[in-house]
Structure 1
Amino acid sequence: MKRALIVRHVPREGAAGYLQPIEAAGYHIDRIDVASPDFAGVDLCAPDLLIMMGGPMGVYEQELHPWIPVQIAKLAMRLAADRPTLGVCLGSQMIAAALGARVYPGGQMELGFAPVRMNGAGAASPLRHIDGVPLLHWHSDTFDLPDNVELLASTDIYAHQAFRRGANLLALQFHAEMGEDPRFEDWLTHFWADLDVAKQCVIALRGDHDAYGPGAVAAGRAMIGEWLATTKV
């Protein structure tokens, strides 16, 4: 059986809605937390599929989080080998850094449900499933677009919302996996300061989650399912 490894930067940010298409594609799923003593010894080149999820830390906060340069170095080796890799939010920023791009504070919190804007490449990619669908955004960091990748989607706040390289690399800044996972309440509790920065009302955001979440997850699952069908393990 093919094996997938999910790297969690904090326990409350897992693969959520993406678990279904990953399992449907025939993968056995393992998980590792970066806080685990075992993380330093993990070979990120070994899994058939690597999924790196989000987290509140910045890629540039390496003195606070010494596992970050370790992960980037291991990830760079995997990307050089062109092994199937998916990055979500912080995971997408890790991919950008591993490809040599700068990751930095964007100066504005992008938080709430809103669609991304496809370019021509995005509309012809698996991202077509999320076209026009309100998706959860929750970040304030951004990155320069790495060399030799294809930009797929943007928003008015941040131009670099999704990119790919060939069939095996997909980086997504947004959270199309979130919308039905009860851990969303943990986000509201633990990341409450972000709501103040973004001037978001927790009651309104919870209502948007109930209204848009199921559609976002359905679209996100279709996107990941199609992407997995095109990867070359």
Structure 2
Amino acid sequence: MTEAFSTYTLWFVNDSGYAGEVCVYQQPDSQQNYETLAWMVTGANPSVQVEFTWSSEFDFLWVQYGPTRAQQVKPATSLGSLIDITYNDFGFTFGPIQTHAEAGRLVVSSDGTIPTHADAVAGIGMGGAGTFAGQLRPNARMPFTPSAALTCLITFGNSRVQVNDRLDPATLNPSGKIQYSGTNRIMTARLDDANTWRITPGPPQSSATTASTGGVKVPRTTLHYVAGRGLV
């Protein structure tokens, strides 16, 4: 059975006074020993605001790192799905999605064709980009249990990461924490000139839609970012 999905929005308002890169990632579960991936990434100049949007639909994905980077993202039909991954002369590839008995989980299963020391990961994502993954190994089974409550983290700086890169949250600038609850699907994360995050429900307030340049109020530049696609 196909799940019902929702559309979420996160506004980032850059009032830090600096240009940099904003990275959104999902909060890892301390009981699941998987790597966190950079989910949405874009540059933002001072006084710019970015509207991030995504669907809550889950995905399976694999990513091969290195000079010849490659990846595949495949929508998961529902929680309780399993997908096989194999390797051939042309690289990694997913098989058909199957159902399995582990309700509430998404499972990636690899066979003996997977290279032993592959610089590659496989895991899950949301809205077309990766969120969590594990090192690809032969003959392995990786079960992922997505959290029922969506919690995102947002960081800003000069991390120079790409979407689906592995992240070490401990090495990032302090992150703002965004928790979605109930029927609220829109949140705003504002970074002020003290590099402090201000997290509020809903879209940016009217006072945040303009920026001060030389004492003159001007409309902010707004960037629109869709998960899995980038700036649109």
| Same structural fold, with TM-score higher than 0.5 when normalized by the shorter chain | no
Structure whose alpha-carbon radius of gyration is higher:
2
Give the structure with the higher percent strand.
2
Give the structure with the higher percent helix.
1
Q: Which has the higher contact order (CA 8 A, sep 6+)?
A: 2
TM-score by length of 1: 0.29
